[in-house]
Structure 1
Amino acid sequence: MPDRSRPFAVLAYGDSNTWGAVPQPYRGAGGRFCAERWTRVTADRLGSDFEVIEAGLNGRTTCVDDPVEGIERNGVRHLQVAVQTHMPVDLVIIMLGTNDLKARLSMTAGDIADGAGRLCDMVRRSNWGPEGRAPRVLLVSPAPLGRLTWLAEMFAGGTEKSRRLAEEYRRVAKAMSAEFFEGGSVMASSDDDGIHLGAEAHLALGEALAAEVRRIAGAARQG
């Protein structure tokens, strides 16, 4: 039976949109949301019976080494460490794929989804959850790209692929017996740079995922 004496632990594994990067209207603008970012919103809505652990890294991909930004951005390389650092974890939320749309990585929408599937499979086969069981997985498809301003060359060809990610992620989640949430159903990428979430998008996502987490936790606690 689940241990009700501790909070239901949720680890959010993502990229700059989990880290909380503020949309940049020009190169080098920078900035990070704090209380506004979706992980903080989710934690606030869930309350003290839940613990939301943030594991967002700028530039993180699903499963590929970025030749420019470095191998440490490869999500497969660091998922195990991220989760094991906080064991036991009841639920892992995976929201990655935007950086895989970069032209230099030459990934199709199906490739990106399959990369996210590798992460789901790692969690599903692990003993990182309570009593040595595997945590549950919630796969979130990223929002489609918005208006690409100064990032247009870096993400050339990515817009159309980004619009197919939800369908492909749904396919992978079903194959991996993971939960699925379509991020683009509640949020949109900012037109300041086309890839990052503004404060309103963080709020919408945070509230939606709080409801998803509560539902998943309810099912887990009944089991």
Structure 2
Amino acid sequence: MFKLSLSILLASVMVLSACSDDNPTSPNYKPYPGKSAKEAPKGTEAEAPTSSKVAQSLQALKDDMGSDADPVKVAKALKARPPNSGPEPMLMLDKNKTPLVPVLHNTIKLNYYECDGVVAPWFRELVVAEMNYFSALMNLPLVDGKNCVVSIGTTSGLTPGRISIDLHETPERLKDCLSAKLCGQFRSMSLIEKGTTLYRSYFLSDMGRKMISRQCVNHEGKWFKDKNCYDVDPPPLPKS
């Protein structure tokens, strides 16, 4: 472990702020909250001291991180550059929204499938990057996406048809969670329909520390901090 210098933190902030939807080569995929900034009077921006801007950027990052975050893990998570789209659909499903691979494991409420053959590589990379950022904010170990399962709610459960992607740190942790043993750490992303779009609703938990985290990312990559996507308003309908 090593201490994260202010320069690294600042560099991460500047990388985040440089991403913009207006620039297709640098997609705004990072889950970060929209900051409401007051419009500066004309002629004052050029005169603002650099040290003040540095302090404001650093404070914004600290506010988002919170006291439980590991700054080293946050910096590592921010290095990810996942794509926003790819040559194939995000999920490979049949007309009944069922995966084209055999069931790996099933319970009364959920059917589980391996991610390979179901989740498109580009979409898995995106989910892993966002999950690691949220994991770092609550000081959970980061994951590489290899220990991955897709769960789909059955008609006997509370959320029939809901599709989730669960990521685990090791094969042993994945097996423990599937076999209904003590699932000490849990990371899951559920796809929630909002109008004509899909939002990504993240749920992370650490039973040992009695911590949970709920985060929502919309289809454009905007982060709704500490929100369940069910509680987020859908996007406005397109103007006819």
TM-score normalized by the length of structure 1: 0.30
Q: Which structure has the bigger radius of gyration?
A: 2
Q: Which has the higher contact order (CA 8 A, sep 6+)?
A: 1
- Would you tell me which structure has more strand in proportion to its own residues? 2
